[in-house]
Structure 1
Amino acid sequence: MNLILLVFVIVILWRLNAVLGTGGGANNKNNDTYGFGLDDRDKNRNKNSDNRGQKAEPAPARTPLRVVANGETPKTADELTKIRGLDPSFDAGLFIENASTAYEMILRCFSEHDRKTMKPLVSSEVYQGFDQVMKSREQEGHSLRTEIISIDRAEINDVELDGSLARITINFEASLASALTDSAGEVLEGGLEKINNNNDLWSFERDLKKKSPIWVLVATESI
């Protein structure tokens, strides 16, 4: 996905604005700013792999499956009620569904080095973590291709409200296939025929008093 055409970028951002609501950056409480399974593949790219030296093959065609939970539990209900008090239009189920869209988009941006689309969707700390890994791949002539097979579960794990600053953490269970290749297209790690089950916590923040219509990704963690 090469999103260099301005009109395409505008359409993408408009879609995210519509689905995620508003947001503002904040400090990242997690050191693992790109820890959803792909960073480990980069850190260990010099290790032996059963697929090393093979040409990357296209991923088999699969029908994506998404199961989205409402996420309104006794643990989160009070804080979500407070969020609705500041933003009456907030809907937890819709937020989860569209946070899943952001999850897919940011993963694709990381895989395809689409910094322009990614940057407004993540905090500066998260962006720096992604950018560091992308630069490392670029310097070594490596490429990462990621196929998002499905998001099998997405639900609210935690909600924090500090004044008007809201942070919602989503637990994503997703099936992904990734292949790290060299400049000749030979597989160094992973493989698109191998499906990995990822269990991730992604935290999005928004200042509910601001007009910006984006919830910003401020932290990620693999569990």
Structure 2
Amino acid sequence: MVEQSKEEKFHQYILNLPQDKKDAVKGKPTEVLKLIDEYPEWFMNIGPDKGAFIVKEIVKKQPKIMIEMGGYIGYSAVLFASQLIADPEAKYYSFEASHEFAKIAQDVIDLAGLTKKVEIIVGKASYTLVDFKERLKKSSSYTPIDFVFIDHDKNSYVPDLCLCEKLNFIAPGTVIAADNLYSAPEYKEYVRLSPEEKKRYPGRWNIIYETKSHEFELRGGHKDAVELTKCIDYLSG
């Protein structure tokens, strides 16, 4: 018999919550996040400290469209999408490559009462982002993406940001937050390149970024950083 992963065990845990406990947390994003934070196993989520930092940026930006690359078990979707509740037009799209994790995330999102606010798009972002662009183009209210959260396969940070640039998702005013920066040093290098230096990459070379690393001392003595990047202009010519 194949042993369950910690994610599968957590999935069974939330599905089998006693009815009184389920009723106590249902429709309450903060309480659902506590279930994950207090679970005995550690999960690779954004967590409360870095999460609070990004929440402040979301509140400042008030995005109409926010996407994340790397939904995992739904922690970040619940945390960040709960900031969009006041705006009925705002929508959160979670791109997750794993069908298994997407199922878990959907149940976590449903438990938090965010089913209508969050949509999970399953498959590798390098494919699903292209389909997503075609879908948005059919909408009469199409705009670039307001806020992007990157927290998936570290080797995909730069290629998938380049794809977002190429698809014109990134425009002046777009905010990008990338987690686990210590594990993705090439991403930090990329967003600091000049437009001339970016010409060797497949993205949109003329995007001008303003970017800064924000370091965090995490529980257990670990350190990590979030890169907060803002598209400030297009280079003309």
Fold shared by both chains (TM-score > 0.5): no
* TM-score (norm: length of structure 2): 0.25
- Greater strand content: 1
Q: What's the TM-score, normalizing by structure 1?
A: 0.26
Higher RCO (Cα < 8 Å, 6 or more apart): 1
When you count helix as a share of all residues, which structure comes out higher?
A: 2
